[in-house]
A = this chain, B = another copy of it.
Amino acid sequence: MRYVLLVQYDGTLFSGFQRQKKGERTVQGELERAASEVFGSAVRVAGSGRTDAGVHAAAQVCHVDGETSIPAEKLRECLNRKLPPDLKVLASRTAPDGFDCTRAVKKKTYVYRAYFAPAVLPLLSRYTARLTAKPDVLRMREAATLLVGEHDFRAFSSTGSSAKTSVRTVYHIGISEKKEPAADLYEIAVTGNGFLYNMVRILAGELFAVGCGKSTDGIRTALEKGTRTSLAGTMPASGLTLCSVDYGIELFPKEE
């Protein structure tokens, strides 16, 4: 029997999603430990994809295979009793026929959050990166149009990527700005059919750099030549959240 789980985690104290051999604390490792206790035998948990160390997920999708008499919808509570406070299951159900949470992904949306303020803001730091200059959102939006579409994003990835091809389609990049009393807040929401290792963080770093005055030639050169030298830097993991995984079907309908 296959079950699908909707999972949320605060990535701060995890060494990423993927199980590590060295015994580091990972999301997959914690989920497998909890699920094995609930199912009463060792089970494996698969995710829609990996998230890096420190990256958060508002709604990661996982599946787990196993036999249990617990009703699918009750698995959520049973797993949550075994899970730590920074990792919880929001919903559970039986998988649709032939569903594979890794292979069936159609689109994913990541949100990168940053703020501009004269000082570090402790109440924002956990989920939002700090910018030391104030970006121009209109410049960022213009630069984002260069990245939307099907491109070889090789330049926008860190070494260590195990992907077979570096061609990805970015469907949409939405950039918003919000003024609060102590800071200006920025959100970059990127929807694509898949992402290379560190791709959203490198892409966000370049968009913020362009917003702060850098020419858009860096993006053009990177897409044409496939090299990273024309790009700014990788933004910190803390600002990144996996916000949704789209399978083209409504996996977890709203309860209301």
Contacts and interface: CB of A to CB of B under 8 A. Distances in A.
Interface of A: 8-10, 56, 58-59, 76-77, 80, 85-91, 117-123, 125-127, 181-182, 241, 255
A154 to B, nearest CB: 32
A121 B59 CA distance: 10
A245 to B, nearest CB: 13
A57 to B, nearest CB: 8
Contact of A89 (B56, B87, B119): B119
Given A9-B122, A123-B10, A126-B126, A59 B90 contact: no
Given A182-B58, A182-B59, A10 B122 contact: yes
Contacts of A77: 119
B8 A80 contact: no
Contacts of A76: 118-119
A88 B118 CA distance: 11
Contact of A90 (B58, B85, B86, B119): B119
A208 to B, nearest CB: 20
A120 B123 CA distance: 20
B90 A125 contact: no
